[in-house]
Amino acid sequence: MVILGAGPAGLVLGNLLHRGGIDCVILERASRAHVQTRARAGFLAANTVRILERHGLAEGLHRRGRAHGTCEFRTEGGGFRLDYSGLGLGEQHTVYPQQYLVTDLLTQFLDVGGRIHFDTEAVSVLGAHCARPSVTVRAPDGRCGPWRARYVAGCDGRHGAARRSLPPGAVRRHHRDHGVSWLGLLVEAPPSLDAVGYAVHDRGFAGHMARTPDVTRYYLQCERDSPADTWPEDRIWDELELRMHAADHGPLHRGRIVQRAVVSLESDVLEPLRHGALFLAGDAASVISPSAAKGANLAVLEAEILARALIDDLGHGDGRGLARYSAQCLAHIWRAQDFSQWMTQLLHGPSGSDGESSFHNSLRRARIESLRTSRSQQDWFAENYVGV
């Protein structure tokens, strides 16, 4: 078994296959240092934690992760908090930065004899419908050669070799550009509130997400294609305080901005997720806007589903799980996409003053008011916010 990519999907899959007695190797185009330090998501859903616990992969998050069950909405009409851990199914998140999770998974895989080749780029997947497909790989010294296996798992993202290798007409691609961009910021400063903060303002959305006691993630809605380095730090903090309604709720804890990047909110889903011996998981299968923190959680869920199916097939000759893999994962993906779309529309509105923009902004205010006042709406929100 060849696994492309050492992100959450590839590493969970590798750990589960190795524990199930399936020989596998992970090929990762980046260096080990890069894989272990790239800052991505940080909110693990309750089901994600259960999956990691079920397979003995949760020691690090139990030691360093923090339970989190509250979010706060701030608007010009006032703010309100939702203790979502007491709503819906009564579940909460665990705050655990993705680079910590990846480091845990990577260390555990290597400690039990798992094989990872870093700085090794998969160029293409060939013969996916043959008995033994091959992966053309560029080694660290620049030489190319084939790796052959019974199955290939494409966990190498939306721009990786797995997606690139799909023949024309083999998949149906569902794509949506939400027309929204965020300036994502990682700041050396303690959280400014004890909740995830979603701020709605006429100047655009602002978000606050704790990562560790000393590091906080902020988001600022910005113009499309706006370079990240054009925002001076003083302007960033002034804009954050304005949109977070700091005059009403208190100033933000300021600190050094250590990372910044512009993120365009997009959704992208491929159907089906199986092509002969090639299976897609994680961002190779679907991309979801970050407004609802679903991406890494979907990746872990898909990895467990695929691992079970592969173990049944390779260990017991039962291919029914592999036949169901695509449909089973897509059911979860589309439910997550639906909630993410709802969140995106809740937090962002058109900036124009025409009648259509006014209509959409009025709908948005009505949705926020329903979330503030309706217990049934709050229960629905909580179930979908934490669920995958």
DSSP 130: S
As a whole number of Å, the CA-based R_g of the chain is 21
Q: Per-residue pLDDT averaged across 185-196, rounded?
A: 93
pLDDT digit string (tens) for 226-255? 888 889 999 999 999 999 998 889 999 999
Domain range for 108 is: 2-68+92-175+267-343
Q: What is the pLDDT of residue 76?
A: 86
* Paired tokens of 3: 């696994």
Does residue 211 have a pLDDT over 90?
Answer: no
The answer to whether residue 230 sits within a structural domain is: no
Q: What is the pLDDT of residue 212?
A: 85
Q: What is the pLDDT of residue 352?
A: 67
Give how many domains the chain has, as a whole number: 1
Q: What is the pLDDT of residue 384?
A: 96
Does residue 177 have a pLDDT over 70?
Answer: yes
Q: What is the pLDDT of residue 292?
A: 84
Average pLDDT over the chain, rounded to an integer: 94
pLDDT digit string (tens) for 5-52? 999 999 999 999 999 999 999 999 999 999 998 877 789 999 999 999
* Paired tokens of 313: 């097939």
Q: Per-residue pLDDT averaged across 155-166, rounded?
A: 96
CATH number at residue 50: 3.50.50.60
Nearest alpha-carbon partner for 94 in 63, 131, 134: 63
The answer to whether residue 7 sits within a structural domain is: yes
The answer to whether residue 207 sits within a structural domain is: no
C-beta separation of 116 from 6 below 8 A: yes
Q: Which residues are catalytic?
A: 68, 198, 290, 294, 385
Q: What is the pLDDT of residue 356?
A: 83
Question: 3-class SS at 119?
Answer: coil
The answer to whether residue 380 sits within a structural domain is: no
The answer to whether residue 131 sits within a structural domain is: yes
Q: What is the pLDDT of residue 131?
A: 85
Highest mean pLDDT, choosing among 39-48, 324-333, 340-349, 357-366: 324-333
Q: What is the pLDDT of residue 188?
A: 95
Does residue 154 have a pLDDT over 90?
Answer: yes
pLDDT digit string (tens) for 256-305? 999 999 999 999 999 999 999 999 999 999 999 888 889 999 999 999 99
**pLDDT class for 309, splitting at 50, 70, 90?**
very high
What pTM did the predictor assign? Answer: 0.94
The answer to whether residue 154 sits within a structural domain is: yes
Q: What is the pLDDT of residue 40?
A: 75
Measured between alpha carbons, how far is 19 from 17 in angstroms, rounded to an integer?
Answer: 5
How would you classify residue 155: left for phi > 0, otherwise alpha for psi between -120 and 50, otherwise beta?
Answer: alpha
The answer to whether residue 187 sits within a structural domain is: no
- Beta-carbon contacts of 259 under 8 Å, excluding residues fewer than 6 positions away, are 39, 184, 185, 186
The answer to whether residue 375 sits within a structural domain is: no
Share above pLDDT 70 across residues of the chain, in percent, rounded to a whole number: 99
Q: What is the pLDDT of residue 350?
A: 78
Angle at 365 between CA 175 and CA 378, to 5 degrees: 80
Measured between alpha carbons, how far is 350 from 15 in angstroms, rounded to an integer?
Answer: 45
